[in-house]
Chains A and B, each alone.
Chain A
Amino acid sequence: MNDAGDIADLYSKTLRELARDPAHKGRPEAFDATARGDNPMCGDRVDIYVSLEGDRIREARHVARGCEICQASASLLAGLVPGKTRAESSALGQRAGEIAKSGIGDDGSEELRRLSLFTVVHKFPSRVKCVTLAWNALDAALSGVKETSSE
């Protein structure tokens, strides 16, 4: 679409509800790993807290100071990664970035269908990093790194 109409596509009801959804927000009292994702250019910042059970994620929570896309991505992440290993969540984060960049959705599974919310982001190239910031932070937390960035 070549007018302001695609703004409504980007800020869909689903994305805006996810951005506001308090379910996975807030720093938990106890956690096993954490990392901070910073986007140095815009100032967005996401802290991810992870509790583990063996080699699988039990719970992920976030404290995000960022735009709607960044917040929605962090919330979606927290909803999708419980039960996953580090490799599985990392692969999912990879797909989130690819979907946002290429605009090509994936209905291969329910979780990929949900990540396909971000296909519209490819029309807004400067916003792809808003999708990936939380996922980079999760990856860093699970790798024992304390800080990462959107770059």
Chain B
Amino acid sequence: MDTIATPIFDLTRIRRDFPILATKVHGKPLTFLDSGASAQKPRAVIEAMTRSMETAYANVHRGAYHLSETATESYEAARVATQRFLGAAEAEEIVFTSNSTAAINLVAHSYGRGVMQPGQFVLTSEMEHHANLVPWQMLRDANIGIGLRYVRVTERGEIDLNDLAAKLADGKVGLVAITHMSNVLGTVTPAAQIARMTHEAGAKVLFDGSQAAVHRHVDVTAIDADFYVFTAHKLYGPTGIGVLYGKRKLLDAMPPFLGGGDMIESVTLERTTYAAAPARFEAGTPPIIEAVGLHAAIDYVTNIGMPAIEAHERALVDHAMAVLPQVEGLRIIGGAQDRGGVFAFSLDGVHPHDLSTFLDRHGIAVRAGRHCAEPLHTRFGVEGGTTRASFGLYTTPGEIDLLAQKITEARRFFA
């Protein structure tokens, strides 16, 4: 197996940690290039979740018995692990949701309706995943006087910072909601600079870190993010749990989103008082086993080291940038200076669906379509969709070579 020569990053060993990578698809070794949609799981995550169900499972926060106390400890330990992973000041600033989409909807409802004022605007961008677009359109359409603006994306696929400054200039923006890394262009946005510009304009900023948190070391304190969201299943953890980081004083000022058990202080038939954050935002039985899985995933990537993962992925991006443009008729969408391992492209004369079916028959899993970013595809003139290859920490340069080779074959096949 080919490896990139970094002493601390043993790709062969890492690949052995992911049982699914040994499977075959249509008789071919699996080449999984859809980690940007959802990543595969290492044995450490699978076993931690199984162990939790076999030895330490009960509902949390409400049982004065051994198993419930153990489960509660594990659940809260996952919160502390997430706090450290993001560089947050306090564990109470970490709210568990079901995924990134739920975290953004929480902010749209609670902060958007409960804290923002009529006449204010939310400012998002043209390169957002629908998860960071539709909740803001729904807020705009709720007839409570909150408007919506969009920051333009440059031809290279970067946030147009001049346009950002212009859209912030009148001081009417209350919240900026922008991706930290595009799921289509691979663009990593200058989060600290965007946060600084936002704060100078008197607004708060939310980053959608669904992609970025997987590929980069994220420090919400260094960025000075007000809100930061990501989801476990793209970070080699389970589906069903996502994270909302929010600065303590912001969370404290926000009304609840969902009502129910576990988020209350006292309930009478007349009125209810709510628990403090984060419990206020975690109504109902939370994702207990999933929190254990997230914790294991964070431990897994932290042990390898986010800087090592980032270095490996930079090498993969460099390799892809050298190899993919050599394929005749292939056009990569976007060309940002700072990009992660996500490549959306079009291929002359071959529809993305036909290409992905062809690649699938060679064991290569890529995604075809608009990747939940329809406005961005319209922006770049590829309304009909693109094919997307996205990398994980287990991706090898050889897999990128195989992709390029099979795309070339597909072009001949469909000629």
A residues at B contact (CB < 8 Å): 2-4, 6-7, 10-11, 40-45, 65-70, 124, 126-127, 130
Contact = CB atoms under 8 A, between A and B. Distances in A.
Contacts of A67: 351-354
A70 B369 CA distance: 14
Interface string B95-112: 000000000000000000
B358 A7 contact: yes
A3 B361 contact: yes
Nearest to A2: B27
A3 B353 contact: no
A4 B413 CA distance: 12
Interface string B230-253: 000000000000000000000000
A99 B276 CA distance: 57
B26 A3 contact: yes
Interface of B: 26-28, 351-354, 357-358, 361-362, 368-370, 374, 377, 383-385, 413-414
B359 to A, nearest CB: 10
A43 B357 contact: no
Nearest to B409: A4
Given A2-B27, A3-B27, A68-B414, A44 B361 contact: no
A11 B27 contact: no
Contact of B369 (A6, A7, A10, A41): A41
A7 B351 contact: no
A43 B384 contact: yes
Contact of A11 (B28, B377, B384, B413): B413
A136 to B, nearest CB: 17
Contact of B353 (A2, A7, A42, A45): A42
A127 B361 CA distance: 14
A42 B368 contact: yes
Q: List the 9 closest A-B pairs by CB distance, nearest first.
A: A43-B385, A67-B351, A67-B353, A4-B361, A42-B369, A7-B361, A3-B27, A43-B384, A67-B354
11 contacts: A2-B27, A4-B28, A4-B361, A7-B361, A10-B357, A42-B385, A43-B377, A43-B385, A44-B385, A66-B353, A66-B384
A2 B369 CA distance: 26
Given A11-B413, A127-B353, 18 more contacts: A2-B27, A3-B27, A7-B357, A7-B358, A40-B374, A42-B352, A42-B353, A42-B370, A43-B369, A43-B374, A44-B385, A45-B384, A65-B383, A66-B351, A66-B353, A67-B351, A68-B414, A130-B353
A11 B351 CA distance: 13
A65 B384 contact: yes
Contact of B370 (A6, A11, A43): A43
Contacts of A6: 361
Contact of A124 (B357, B362, B368): B357
B354 A4 contact: no
Nearest to A8: B413
Contacts of B351: 66-68
A81 to B, nearest CB: 24
Contacts of B413: 7, 11
